[in-house]
Amino acid sequence: MNINLNTFTSFTTSNCYVLQPFGDQVCIFIDLPPDLDEALSYVKQKNLSIGGALITHGHYDHALGLKDFNFNSYINLDDEFLSRNPQEQIKFFMGNSEGIESYSGELQYLDDIPFQNMKHHKNPGHTKGSTSFEFPELGIIFTGDFVFRDGIGRTDLLSGSLDDMKNSIRNVFMSFNEDAEILPGHGPSGKVKSIKENNEYIKMMLNDRTS
C-alpha cells in the first residue's frame, strides 16, 4: 500500500512524522520536537489540513514543539507533567534550561482521539506514559522511544522503569503484527519480524525473567 508519510528529523535526532492516513488532504503529526518549522512549512506548501498530533511520550525532544502547534494534541496523561515541564530534562542533557517555559495549553486524552483507523498501545518503561500508535490498515506503528530498530528506550530517566519496559516488550511489542513497520522516535524504521530476530536488546529483555 502506498503510504503518504514524511519524516522530519530534529537537531535532537528525534523524528517528527507527518502522515496522511485518510487518502485526503488531512494530515496527522506524530511527535512534536522543538524545531517544527520544516514540518509546518511542508504542510503549508502542500496545502494540507492538520487533524492533530499524537505524542508518544512527554520528553522534551518529542513534545517541546507543543508551544508552536495550535491544534489538538493527544498524549497519555501519565506523561502530562513531563510534557508541561521540560526544564529539568533540558538542564540534564544540555546543562542549562534558561528561557524554557512550562507549557500551559490544552492536552487531550488518548480516549478522545477521533481517528477511527488507529489503535493506541500503552507501553510504559521509557516513561510511565509511553504510548505507541498503530495504523493497522497501513501496516505501520509509531513507537516513539519504546522500541527502535536496533535498540530500546532508556529506562533510567524520570518516570522510567526497567521492570515496566520488560513487561511492555513481552506484552505489547511481542503482540505486534510481524509484518508491520516500526517507525521509531529516533533512527530508521524496521519490520517487527526483523526487529524480533535481530534486536539484541529485545532478546535480552525477553530472556530476563527477574521481573
pTM value is: 0.95
- Note whether 74 and 109 are within 8 A (CB): yes
Q: What is the C-alpha to C-alpha distance for residues 122 and 111, in angstroms, rounded to an integer?
A: 12
State the Cα angle at 133 between 157 and 3, rounded to 5°: 130
Q: What is the C-alpha to C-alpha distance for residues 104 and 95, in angstroms, rounded to an integer?
A: 24
Q: What is the C-alpha to C-alpha distance for residues 141 and 192, in angstroms, rounded to an integer?
A: 9
Neighbours of 102 (CB within 10 A): 11
pLDDT in tens, 130-186: 999 999 999 999 999 999 999 999 999 989 999 999 999 999 999 999 999 999 999
State the Cα angle at 70 between 67 and 71, rounded to 5°: 125
Q: What is the C-alpha to C-alpha distance for residues 18 and 31, in angstroms, rounded to an integer?
A: 9
- Note whether 192 and 176 are within 8 A (CB): yes
Question: In the prediction, which pLDDT does 98 show?
Answer: 64
Beta-bridge partner residues of 53: 29, 73
Q: Which three cell numbers stand for residue 145?
A: 522511544
Q: Which three cell numbers stand for residue 153?
A: 528506550
Q: What is the C-alpha to C-alpha distance for residues 53 and 60, in angstroms, rounded to an integer?
A: 15
Work out the mean pLDDT of the chain and round it to a whole number.
94
Q: How far is CA 24 from CA 21, 51, 62, 117, 143, in A?
A: 8, 11, 26, 14, 24
pLDDT in tens, 173-198: 999 999 999 999 999 999 999 999 99
Residues 6+ apart with CB under 8 A from 47: 25
